Amino acid sequence: MTEKILLVDDEKDFLTVMSERMTARGMQVTTADSAEAALQEVEGGSYDAIVLDLKMPGMDGLETLKAIKARNPTLQVILLTGHATLEKGIEAMKLGAMDFVEKPADLNLLTEKIRSAQARKMVLVAKQTEQKLKNILTTKGW
């Protein structure tokens, strides 16, 4: 199944080349060069995984992560950072990030994580649907 990815980074040259490489691997890629643009995309579309740079001008990666999860808790976010520390990783996981990758990221590794993200999201969406159905059956009282 084609993975739908939102790639967020303020480095436009990085977005261009990553987008091309990921598309060549069969993924459907949308790019955003700021947190604000990313949040607009999240409002308008559904993604299997969001690959998000930790350090961006204005709203940074962790604040963006919080805002994304507030809009849609099922969205899976993989953070990209220039300096991966255990402390940052723990903070990111507490805020709901699925994973944490140090730049320059290995694309094969990132692809594996994206596929995991897609699978995890499908499970969460299925659970949500099941819960909604239960609520309907309970409240309608047929």
Partner 1 sequence: MNAGPNRVGQSGLTYFGRTTASISHELKNALAIIKENAGLLDDYLLMADKGMPLDAARFRTVTGRIADQITRADGIIKNLNRFAHSVDEPIKAIDLNETAGLLDVLSQREAAMRQVTLQVCPAGAATPVTTAPYLLLTLLGRCLSLCLQHMGSGKTLTVKVTKGPDGGRIEFEGLDAAALAAAGDFPGENESALLNAVGAECHLDGTHGCMSITLSNR
Least separation, in Å, of the C-beta of 106 and partner 1? 9
When the beta carbons of 58 and 73 are compared against partner 1, the nearer one is 58
E strand intervals along 88-131: 99-102
Q: Which is nearer to partner 1, 10 or 74 (CB)?
A: 10
Residues forming contacts to partner 1 in the complex (CB under 8 A) are 11, 13-14, 16-18, 20-21, 24, 55-58, 82-83, 103-105, 107
67 vs 14: CA distance, rounded Å: 23
Residue closer to partner 1, measured from CB, 20 or 130 = 20
Whole-angstrom distance, CA of residue 12 vs CA of residue 83: 20
Radius of gyration of the chain, Cα coordinates, nearest whole angstrom: 16
CB of 55 to partner 1, least distance (A): 7
φ and ψ at 92, to 5 degrees?
Answer: -65, -45
Q: What is the DSSP letter of 135?
A: H
We find the least distance from the C-beta atom of residue 48 to partner 1, in angstroms, to be 21
CB of 12 to partner 1, least distance (A): 10
CA–CA separation, 110 and 116 (whole Å): 10
Nearer CB in complex with partner 1: 99/121: 99
